[in-house]
Structure 1
Amino acid sequence: MLAIRLPAEIEQRLDALAQETGRTKTTLAREAILEYIDDLEDYYLAEARARKNRKTIPLEEVGRQLGLGD
């Protein structure tokens, strides 16, 4: 189970949408989370993997590799 506090503006928007659509706020929140969680997982997992496998290259080396020498 999850309980969250929402800012008043979001709570009002959620209330209005629930009333207009005949759905519960819980159903709407669940749908929103399911819609967004795939993107969050992709982003955070990619970020974690990038940090784990990060290889640094000195700026001078990058310049040499790009042919930007003196």
Structure 2
Amino acid sequence: MHKTSITESIVTRLQRLTEATGRSKTFYTIEAIRCHLDDLEDLYLSEQRLPNARAGPSEAVPLEPLLRCHGV
């Protein structure tokens, strides 16, 4: 589980970044949220769907055909 507070080391790193780039802490906070929001949404969605997948009513899709379908 993640901590709900910002550690002093994160504050220091953020301060150094803002000083080096001239951008605000708010800018980098928003960027961090943007970068990770999709991942968090995917994580919570998969956690919600996992019980159904384990129970059998959902059909799983093998990874290889899915990757080929998306050109990966």
- What is the number of residues matched between the two proteins? 53
* 5+ residue gaps, structure 1: 57-70
TM-score by length of 2: 0.64
TM-score by length of 1: 0.66
* 5+ residue gaps, structure 2: 57-72
Q: Measure, in 2, the Cα distance between the counterparts of 1:31 and 1:43.
A: 19
Q: Measure, in 1, the Cα distance between the counterparts of 2:32 and 2:21.
A: 14
Q: Structure 1 vs Structure 2: percent identity of aligned residues? A: 42
Which of 1 and 2 has greater Rg? Answer: 1
User: Which portions of structure 1, spanning 4 or more consecutive aligned residues, are displaced by more than 3 angstroms?
Assistant: none
Q: Measure, in 2, the Cα distance between the counterparts of 1:50 and 1:15.
A: 40
